[in-house]
Amino acid sequence: MELKGKVVVVTGAGSGIGRACALALADQGADIVAADGDRGRLDAVVAQLSRRGVRSIGLRTDVSKDSHVRNLARDGIAAMGQVDVLINDASLDFDASLEQLEMDDWERIIQTNLLGVVRTARAFAPQMVERGGGHIISTASFGALVPDRPATIAYDTSKSGVIGFSQALAAALAPAGVAVSVLCYGYIRRYLDEEHWIEGVEGLTEGAETEREVSAAEIAGLVVDGLHHRRFLILSDPSGSELLAERWRHLDREAVP
């Protein structure tokens, strides 16, 4: 997809990967509808976007609320005339074991991480179908493909749902020319600052582990590449596909104590 002149909605655009995606797509010439639940962060990213010479607006949005997402679609399309790309990056993440999690915690994370993606797809896909094209990218994680960390059980469950939903959505929208992708990056081991993380992809055999610094800008570059090539699975580390294949080969052994 040629991005110059296209209109992109980015949820979770106020920080981290969402903000990096908004800025990277603006650098490609796309106009941006930035959505985030934090007004201060939203205003800051819109100021950055305006200095890039593209059209941009910021809409305060909580993707766990139906009314917020309806307003995002209504106001975004009214301001820009159309939406060509939707980037779903808004999510909640916290470490807690099954024993520590209350049902309210499960409901919060599912409402935001999974049903937030469903809400935005329902809001924006119809006009993409009507116009005969578009692209929806949703952030999952490598932990959703290989969910083996007890401390992220709720997060990984929600993001596994994002992958399943995206696969079904891709099949549903393909006849109309609308592409669907999921972004999966490695485990976030240590938060460094607003732009950088240490990424560790846990191996599936004893002692097999890699760890490297990953920037939000690097991940955003992969999103741009995924848009250009209409790739369904966008991995931050090419070795992730090998680890995934190895995991599935050994899946039948995991129920044995």
The yes-or-no answer on residue 191 being catalytic is: no
Say what the pTM is.
0.86
The yes-or-no answer on residue 141 being catalytic is: yes
Query: Could you read off the pLDDT of 96-125 as tens digits, one per residue?
Result: 989 999 999 999 999 999 999 999 999 999
**Where are the chain's structural domains?**
7-198+214-237
For 216, the token pair is 């939000």
Q: 7-198+214-237 falls under which CATH superfamily?
A: NAD(P)-binding Rossmann-like Domain (3.40.50.720)
Distance from C-alpha of 104 to C-alpha of 102, rounded to nearest angstrom: 5
Annotated catalytic residue, options 155, 158, 181, 187: 155
Q: CA–CA distance from 176 to each of 82, 128, 132, 134, 217 (Å)?
A: 16, 8, 6, 9, 31
Instruction: Grade residue 11 by pLDDT with cuts at 50, 70 and 90.
Output: very high
Query: Could you read off the pLDDT of 202-244 as tens digits, one per residue?
Result: 333 333 344 455 688 989 999 999 999 999 999 887 665 666 6
Q: CA 20, 81, 227 angle in degrees (round to 5)? A: 40
Annotated catalytic residue, options 15, 64, 159, 187: 159
Annotated catalytic residue, options 15, 138, 141, 236: 141
The yes-or-no answer on residue 185 being catalytic is: no
Query: Could you read off the pLDDT of 64-91 as tens digits, one per residue?
Result: 999 999 999 999 999 999 999 999 999 9
**pLDDT > 70? residue 92:** yes
